Amino acid sequence: MTPIKSRTQVAIIGGGPSGLLLGQLLQRQGIDNVILEARSGDYVLGRIRAGVLEEITVRKLREAGCAARLEAEGLVHHGTGISFGGTLHRIDIHALTAGKVVTVYGQTEVTRDLMYARAQSGGITAYEASDVALHDLQGSAPRVTYQQGGQRHELACDFIAGCDGYHGVSRRSIPAQSLRTYERVYPFGWLGVLADVPALPELVYANHERGFALCSMRSPTRSRYYVQCPVDEDLSAWPDSRFWDELLQRVDPLTASRIVTGPSIEKSIAPLRSFVAEPLRYNRLFLVGDAAHIVPPTGAKGLNLAASDVHYLSEALFEQYLERSMAGIEDYSRKALSRIWKAERFSWWMTSLLHRFPEQDSFSLALQRAELDYLMSSETAQRLLAENYVGLPV
């Protein structure tokens, strides 16, 4: 079968939020791009993900012209709670970071806004693109082939942005000897429930002898709650009544009194992992977002790290196309990895601080409690947490 041939400046593999955000930023600078997504648009929108946005993510969405609904509906949070020892402790992130905040706005809504902007701009997104393969990566003229609607396509380009997630083709296309990976798999998961019940005013993270819990939200009337569980737990063993009973046991009495329970509209178990691949550049192929790194969700860094990757890469591509300089492209991996590893450290620290590990002995548990006590007694320690929570500078 003779392929249909076309050309673009930047081929973006993956139509999730990182690929869509990169595409929209490039489009607004007149840089032609095509997005290839293996799934349907409805499938992409059906993914349930977190939505605690750092200021860098909000800023990039504004630059992409996609922040109107976020600014109207997003929940600006000035602090967060940590529950342990039967008491709720509040960390005033706004005061501790000289006025910085986080914004709660679901990743599904971010994706919806980016999809709408892409359609309005006339940008091309090829959904249900199967058998995607990357070619000629060692030269100056890479190509992407894929199948769509029973027809073979070949897309020539200048650069390829791999925004296709942990299981995508982009990272797998880099020769093994050119890539180094780091990974830690955690011995538990998060059982999450989504429910249309009134949300708490701020996120609450809980450390309890029965395990970690998190009270989060998507909107004032839609809440997202989690409890730590074995990663191989049977979801059918968790009817709503058991979940709510367990959650209420793990938080302090004040938080428990504020939680409104109700029927779940979605329930799932997510494993926790830390992962980094480096470098993030292989000649004219770049790794972005989950294709390059995974963080446990405890620090709320996944989507935000993807946005900072997009920031560095979009600026590098602007520099290349508008100023004919490769300096930004050559420095993309170093800049992005510096921020990635700091976020990995913070996410690992938050996970270690708040969860119960199978191998923990009485000494380890006492140290964990001492760490929590110190955090709540030291403004300096709280400032370090707040600084990382709102996002380090890019």
Query: Could you give the residue numbers annotated as active site?
Result: 77, 205, 297, 301, 389
Residue 30 three-state SS? coil
**Structure-block tokens of residue 324:** 């004919």
Cα 48 to Cα 222: distance, rounded to the nearest angstrom: 13
Cα 122 to Cα 131: distance, rounded to the nearest angstrom: 25
- For 220, residues 6+ apart whose C-beta sits below 8 A from its C-beta are 75, 198, 199
Closest CA to 343 of 281, 287, 378, 292: 292
Cα 101 to Cα 55: distance, rounded to the nearest angstrom: 7
Helix axes 17-28, 302-323, angle to 10 degrees: 30
Cα 24 to Cα 32: distance, rounded to the nearest angstrom: 10
Cα 81 to Cα 259: distance, rounded to the nearest angstrom: 14
Pairing of strands 80-84, 87-91: antiparallel
Helices and strands in the chain: count of H runs, count of E runs: 13, 21
Cα 128 to Cα 37: distance, rounded to the nearest angstrom: 6
Residue 263 burial (CB < 10 Å; 0-12/13-18/19+)?
exposed
Helices in 201-301 by DSSP H: which ranges?
A: 240-250, 253-258
